[in-house]
């Protein structure tokens, strides 16, 4: 008796096929779960990178508000911030691949800025022991002579008046925009560092900055360093050391704008002017505090 194709079809054993089908479905589900796990892991990884970089950028933002850096470093920081914004935007849109790429590019820029800033500040603070020595000598002089002495702290942007060895006044100041480091030559808009003396009190039509205390920059140490730099070729042979550095009024602008002088508000300058005279010590230091207390770099 002939068996129809339909009967053969119905009598076939499909248990193996069903078993394979079930395994295929199970495998697909596992792959889907693993894929979800990978995506979640990748998402968390990018979120961690974004959060970490955000902390570094906040730290740098705070530091860069205090510290003058070169144009290239500032441009690199700006570019890094743009890339970071793009990374965050892509993350919100769940484009994790693009977000990861952008945050990695941003990390390179921000890390370059961080390393530059760290190097600048660590190099600058190699002079901290000398600054501390100058300050100590100035305070001792004030105490011994029962007289007024002035100490300017560049990092803190403060002018401190000492009388009989004790600080009696403290004022905010503004400096030259390139205040990090010592003054090297005329026109560099850097505020010098060292131990100086007031040579002249100036007011009225003799100064365009309300009132002024002229100091003896360049002193002997400045002159020696300047001549050595010209000899070594780190300054051009026709360089001019400059002069006319003062503590003067017309400050209170909210940014560092002078050509190397120390600027106070006119109200504060009235007080400093009244307490100082020819021969008053003016000591300008980089910082009274240690680096770790001035800017957070870790």
pLDDT in tens, 141-151: 999 999 999 99
pLDDT bin (cut points 50, 70, 90) of residue 70 is confident
Express as a percent the part of the chain with pLDDT over 90: 59
Show Cβ contacts of residue 117 under 8 Å, excluding neighbours closer than 6 positions: 60, 63, 64, 67, 69, 73, 297
CA–CA dist 288, 91 (Å, integer): 44
Is residue 195 a contact partner of residue 219, using CB atoms and an 8 Å limit? yes
Residue 247, CB-side half-sphere exposure with 13 Å CA sphere: 39
Angle between helices 96-124 and 15-64 (to 10 degrees): 30
**pTM, rounded to two decimals:** 0.80
Average pLDDT for residues 112-124, to the nearest whole number?
90
Asked whether the predicted pLDDT for residue 33 surpasses 70, the reply is no
37: which 2 tokens?
A: 């796990």
Mean pLDDT value across the chain: 87
pLDDT digits (tens, 9 = 90+) for 238-271: 899 989 999 999 999 999 999 999 999 999 999 9
**Are 142 and 148 in contact, with CB atoms under 8 Å apart?**
yes
| Cis amide linkage into residue 218, ω under 30° from 0 | yes
Q: Is residue 202 left, alpha or beta, with left meaning phi > 0 and alpha meaning psi from -120 to 50?
A: beta
**How far is Cα 61 from Cα 53, in angstroms, rounded to an integer?**
12
Residue 198 has pLDDT above 90, yes or no: yes
Q: Distance between CA atoms of 286 and 152, rounded to whole angstroms?
A: 8
| Domains of the chain listed by start with CATH number | 5-124 (no CATH), 146-288 (2.40.440.10)
């Amino acid at each position: 008796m002939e068996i129809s194709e339909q009967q053969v079809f119905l009598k076939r054993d499909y248990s193996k096929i069903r078993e394979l089908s079930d395994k295929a479905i199970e495998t697909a589900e596992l792959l889907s779960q693993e894929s979800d796990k990978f995506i979640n892991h990748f998402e968390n990884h990018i979120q961690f990178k974004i959060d970490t970089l955000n902390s570094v950028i906040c730290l740098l933002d705070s530091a860069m508000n205090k510290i003058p850096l070169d144009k290239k470093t500032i441009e690199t920081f700006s570019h890094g911030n743009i890339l970071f914004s793009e990374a965050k935007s892509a993350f919100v849109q769940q484009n994790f691949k693009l977000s990861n790429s952008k945050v990695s590019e941003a990390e390179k820029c921000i890390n370059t800025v961080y390393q530059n800033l760290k190097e600048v500040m660590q190099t600058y603070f190699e002079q901290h022991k000398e600054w501390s020595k100058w300050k100590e000598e100035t305070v001792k002089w004030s105490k011994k002579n029962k007289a007024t002495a002035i100490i300017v702290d560049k990092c803190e942007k403060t002018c401190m008046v000492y009388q009989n060895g004790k600080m009696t006044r403290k004022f905010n100041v503004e400096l030259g925009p390139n205040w990090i480091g010592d003054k090297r030559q005329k026109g560099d808009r850097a505020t010098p560092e060292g131990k100086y003396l007031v040579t002249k009190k100036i007011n009225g039509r003799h100064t365009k900055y309300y009132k002024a205390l002229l100091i003896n920059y360049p002193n002997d140490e400045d002159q020696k360093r300047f001549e050595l730099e010209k000899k070594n070729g780190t300054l051009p042979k026709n360089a001019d050391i400059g002069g006319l550095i003062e503590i003067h009024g017309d400050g209170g602008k909210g940014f560092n704008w002078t050509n190397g002088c120390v600027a106070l508000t006119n109200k504060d300058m009235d007080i400093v002017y009244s307490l100082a005279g020819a021969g008053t010590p003016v000591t300008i230091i980089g910082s009274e505090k240690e680096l770790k207390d001035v800017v957070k770099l870790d």
